[in-house]
Amino acid sequence: MVRKSILDEKKDGNSRDMAKDLIFELGCEEIPAGFIKPALAALAASLKKGFSEGGLEYGQLRTLGTPRRLTVIVEGLEEKEPDRIVESRGPAIKAAYDKDGNPTRALEGFARGSGVKPKDLKIVKLEKGEYLYAVKEIKGRKTVEILPELLRGVVSSLSFPKAMRWADHEMTFARPLHWILAVYGGKAVCFNHGHIASGNATYGHRFIAKGAGKAVKIKTVNDYLNKLKDNLVIADIDERRAVILDGIAKEAEAAGGVVLEDKGLVEEVVNLVEYPVVIRGSFEEEYLALPAEIIINAMREHQRYFSVIDKAGKQSGKGYRLLPAFITVANTPVKDEAVVRAGNERVLRARLSDAKFYFDKDVSTPLADNVEALKGVVFQAKLGSSYEKVERFTRLALYIGRWLEWCDALEDSGGLEGYLKDKKSGGTGKKGHSHTLGRASMLAKADLVSGIVGEFPSLQGVMGEEFARRDGEAKEVAAAIGEHYLPISAGGELPETTAGAIISIADKLDTIAGCFGVGRIPTGAADPYALRRASLGIIRIILDKGWSIELDSLVAKAVNLVGDKLTKGADETEAAVLEFIRERFRNYLKGEGLQHDSIDAVLSTGWFDIADAVKRIRALEKFKEHPACESLVAAFKRVSNILKGQEVDGLPAPNIFEDGAERALFEVYSKIAPVIRKAEEKGDYAKVFEKLASIKDVIDKFFDDVMVMAEDEKLRRNRLILLGSIRELYSSVADLSKLVV
């Protein structure tokens, strides 16, 4: 029951013209770029929660940040909490007074606990009778009184992926905290966090601000933004990003090209600088003989440089037409750009020289000759070497290939090593595909022992493909080597070739099965072998290819191949791996916008063939729009409830039927059952649901006219079997009783 307040709602006197701005900044040493965005989100969420709990209204809340400061600006924050009326229900009237009308102990205790006098209690009439209520009006506190405690709590609650202590202080932070700016309505909000006292001062750029190291007093938001700019700090992340994008575009244009798009690098650089200054440099054209990926990686990963490509050069496969130029973003204006440019060019020249040395040395050795060296590379202490891993996922890849009827052999003559001895063209047909799959699998990790991958680990696979092409490997083999790491992110590029897709699944599934088999299971805080990403990759590849694969069989094979390295039972490992992948699959489906009840209805009836499961879910989502769906689902839920705990097999005996409604239901069942089975075999689930919809009227009439749980045991049993037959029509497609309609 919703009851109006005993007292009329009172105005608290607050209005938007009584609001003031809050500026809250945490100043520290340089925070890692990746920490800034989540830290600002956490700060904003914590403040919003605090304001909400106190009933404080505000206009706009926005975050600003640089490597040296995390800032939240709250515009239009009310000057006080609203006044509140607190109502507490006490004893019923009949329990509040004795027969002489005197207050009972229950009444006195309630009044004392509520902080009011018995005579001030109110009588309220409810449906259950009359009750006493204590009503107190609590004046809202002033915002300036609330903020010190609130802001101190916000700082204390902030956490980072890695935090540190410094000197002999107890507090932790991403990097040493040096100052706290807290200004509300032009005045400092004073509190202490550890050894640091808040105040109304911030600091400009560490090295080049006017009077670097001197405090800058702040009163207003405009004051804050303008004075920081005067001291060479652009606090607004979006503004810094715009400056950088504009600058690198202009410099690339001046070099005769365009910037190679790299959103990740832009976001990283934005949070590495407080005052971006864009500078262009160049490198010797001789280095363009290196694969483009090496040059791009050397500039991006080590130096945070942007690459420049020819204007007419579009991305073609994995290659780019690079220009001998780069663009860097400095954190300070410079008097002589030539000096800075020369310094960056010198550093890059050394990087590229090293890369050329490693690459030239690597290409002098055939990729296949590197495979033996994988025996000395540990994949995981309990799972053995990378060579052992290669053997496992090669066998698994061939198993998958045979399942898909794409290849026909587990091993050529000479075992798996035979694939390393014969560099023949992959060819077509199942035998040719077997060679492509076997050789590409055995070579897939061979680039891990190369010098260039040792220098640039993110190029694993990319360099394997490059080496394979230079060695004259079949293009199908080289492509599969390059693709088998894909996808490398949640929405990343997927393998295009069949061999690449199969090897990617096999490699990932071997990692998952092996890690689960030796107890290396992901936790909420850690997933060092990226098993969640691997599971999602398997799911996305299978769905992209539309392959009908029974994952339980693949998992069983993968676990079996781990063999005696398992520290857990095979059955236990298989069950754990399948549940892990199932949960990733469920999350993936939710992310695709599919409804949770449709997902649960389908997955509960079987999900190992995930491509088929998605087809069923999409057909079910469409069926939910059918006019008959709601009443039909209600009937199927009734079927499910009646059959709960009942064992029913076979078909009902028509000669036992007594009622016309049960005969009619059986006749419709007999007519549509073979049609539904045939549609299921073809994967035509839209037709399955269409035929199910046709029994709506007869099943409704059955439940209206027929007593299922009849006293006659034979009759009751026959009716239960009839309902069991109806359930069988959809039990392998979806548990329709789980739908919410």
**Would 363 be classed as within a structural domain?**
no
147 with 47, same domain: the answer is yes
pLDDT (tens digit per residue) in 533-575: 999 999 999 999 999 999 999 999 999 999 999 999 999 999 9
Statement: residue 450 has pLDDT above 50:
yes
Distance of CA 500 to the CA centre of its chain: 25
Q: Of 230, 248, 264, which marks where a domain is finished? A: 230
pLDDT (tens digit per residue) in 290-331: 999 999 999 999 899 999 999 876 444 345 689 999 999 999
169 with 132, same domain: the answer is no
Contact call for residues 502 and 544 (beta carbons, < 8 A): no
R_g over Cα of the chain: 35
User: What 3-state class would DSSP assign to 196?
Assistant: strand
pLDDT (tens digit per residue) in 455-464: 999 999 999 9
Phi, psi of 204 (to 5 degrees): -85, -160
CATH number at residue 37: 3.30.70.260
**Of 6-10, 36-40, 588-592, minimum mean pLDDT range:** 6-10
**Most confident option among 47-56, 440-449, 653-662, 730-739:** 440-449
**Would 96 be classed as within a structural domain?**
yes
Statement: residue 45 has pLDDT above 80:
yes
449 with 551, same domain: the answer is yes
40 with 182, same domain: the answer is yes
Mean of all residue pLDDT scores within the chain: 90
Q: What is the DSSP letter of 138?
A: E
With pLDDT > 90 as the criterion, what percentage of the chain qualifies? 67
Statement: residue 733 has pLDDT above 70:
yes
**Would 354 be classed as within a structural domain?**
no
Statement: residue 710 has pLDDT above 80:
yes
> For the chain, what is the domain count?
5
pLDDT number for residue 72: 98
pLDDT number for residue 9: 37
Helix (H) / strand (E) containing 15: none
409 with 509, same domain: the answer is yes
Contact call for residues 475 and 425 (beta carbons, < 8 A): no
Statement: residue 94 has pLDDT above 90:
no
437 with 579, same domain: the answer is yes
Statement: residue 5 has pLDDT above 60:
no
pLDDT number for residue 317: 39
Maximum distance among all Cα pairs of the chain, rounded to whole angstroms: 109
**Would 347 be classed as within a structural domain?**
no
pLDDT-derived band at 1 (thresholds 50, 70, 90) equals very low
Contact call for residues 17 and 128 (beta carbons, < 8 A): no
Q: Which residue has the higher pLDDT, 641 or 448?
A: 448
User: What 3-state class would DSSP assign to 599?
Assistant: helix
CATH number at residue 649: 1.10.730.10
304 with 274, same domain: the answer is yes
What pTM value is reported for the model? 0.82
Statement: residue 34 has pLDDT above 80:
yes
728 with 658, same domain: the answer is yes
pLDDT number for residue 4: 36
**Would 5 be classed as within a structural domain?**
no
* Mean pLDDT (whole number) for 119-135: 84
Contact call for residues 409 and 471 (beta carbons, < 8 A): no
pLDDT number for residue 16: 46
Containing structural domain, residue 94: 84-138
**Would 350 be classed as within a structural domain?**
no
437 with 503, same domain: the answer is yes
**Of 10-14, 122-126, 592-596, 719-723, minimum mean pLDDT range:** 10-14
User: What 3-state class would DSSP assign to 308?
Assistant: strand
pLDDT number for residue 7: 34
551 with 673, same domain: the answer is no
Q: Which residue has the higher pLDDT, 14 or 458?
A: 458
Residue 740 corresponds to which amino acid? V
Integer Cα distance of 704 and 298 in angstroms: 75
The CA-based angle 223-229-234, given to 5 degrees, is: 110
Statement: residue 37 has pLDDT above 90:
yes
pLDDT number for residue 427: 64
Residues 6+ apart with CB under 8 A from 122: 6, 132, 133, 134, 135
pLDDT (tens digit per residue) in 216-242: 999 999 999 999 999 999 999 999 999
**Would 220 be classed as within a structural domain?**
yes
Among residues 449, 448, 444, 486, the alpha carbon closest in space to that of 318 is found at: 486
pLDDT number for residue 320: 64
Q: Which residue has the higher pLDDT, 461 or 19?
A: 461
**Would 602 be classed as within a structural domain?**
no
Q: Of 188, 207, 230, which marks where a domain is finished? A: 230
pLDDT (tens digit per residue) in 390-444: 999 999 999 999 999 999 876 444 578 888 877 765 567 788 899 899 999 999 9
pLDDT number for residue 95: 84
pLDDT number for residue 328: 97
Distance of CA 138 to the CA centre of its chain: 44
pLDDT number for residue 316: 43
Q: Which residues of 515-538 are buried (b: 16+ CB within 10 A; e: fewer)?
A: bbbbebbbeeeeeebebbbbbbbb
pLDDT number for residue 93: 86
pLDDT number for residue 418: 80
Statement: residue 454 has pLDDT above 90:
yes
308 with 381, same domain: the answer is no
652 with 523, same domain: the answer is no
